[in-house]
Amino acid sequence: MAGGPKLVGLRLHHLRKVLPFFFLVGCLFLVRWSKGAFFVDTYALITRPFWPGSSQREWLQYGDLVESQVMVDLLQADNNRLRRMLAIKSSSTPDLVSVPVIARKSNGWWQQLELGKGSVAGIQIGAAVMGPGGLLGIVESVTPSTARVRLLTAPGSRVGVWVNRAKHHGILLGIGTNRPQLTFLDKDPKVIAGDVVSTSPASTILPPNLPVGVIQSLDKKALPAPIASVQLLSAPEAIDWVQVQKR
């Protein structure tokens, strides 16, 4: 009789050893049979108290509304840009040639444009290239069917300009960013942010009084003369069509 309890205890000991194995097999079978739904439901039940409340739901709805409004604004801006490009495309005159931009280098985004017309269309080296609103650059090389434009933003680009309100000349220098630098010839040019910059009325290289940009900021302490940052009226980063002035 003494061996009975000992035998029962031995069986229980073996059962405790194999029980985790059977439990694991059962869990795997449950996952296989339910395709994970059981654990998903369990997770949802445990985390339900932490789900977003009404205030958090309102924040999410507000975020969706803001995102939709931003998308509408971006689409409207792109639509306006395309309308301006279409206007340029269809507005060739005896003095202006409408030309598509066919290429630009990613490592020279602020330096040059490749145009889809050349000398056959009357485009010559040194011609002014206009975008929507103002001057973009100057033609630096031409083939019979293409032309390359050096942008005002290209490093080393130099164009004589004029601030009509202050009656002062300056040199617009490209520095490789979307805003070229205006260096004045006088120590006190009396210009302010918002002044309009145009090509010099005394220019013999470019047509005079072409709109160029607007002064954004001014450093009066720069030596030997003040310098200004200029926002171009025609954004070179978003150009599909241009107009080239015949010389």
Cα distances from 199 to residues 24, 36, 64, 111, 240, in angstroms, run: 82, 71, 46, 19, 23
Task: State the DSSP H helix or E strand holding residue 33, giving kind and residue range, or none if neither.
Answer: helix 3-34
CB < 8 Å & 24+ apart, contacts of 108-111: 108/154, 109/237, 110/151, 110/153, 110/154, 110/174, 110/176, 110/177, 110/178, 110/236, 110/237, 111/150, 111/151, 111/153, 111/154, 111/155, 111/174, 111/176
Q: Sign of the CA dihedral 74, 77, 83, 87? A: negative
Q: Is this prediction's pTM over 0.85? A: no
Residue 88 phi, psi dihedral angles, 5° rounding: -65, -45
Q: Each residue of 29-70: pLDDT tens digit? A: 665 665 556 566 666 666 666 565 555 566 666 666 766 776
Q: Which residue has the tokens 């949802």?
A: 44
Q: Where are the domains of the chain?
A: 3-50, 96-245
Nearest one of 222, 231, 9 to 133, comparing CA atoms: 231
DSSP-derived 3-state class of residue 173:
strand
| Per-residue pLDDT tens digits for 128-161 | 999 888 899 999 999 999 999 999 999 989 999 9
Query: Domain 96-245 is classified in which CATH homologous superfamily?
Result: Rod shape-determining protein MreC, domain 1 (2.40.10.340)
Pairwise pLDDT comparison (198 vs 39), residue with the higher score: 198
pLDDT score for 49: 62
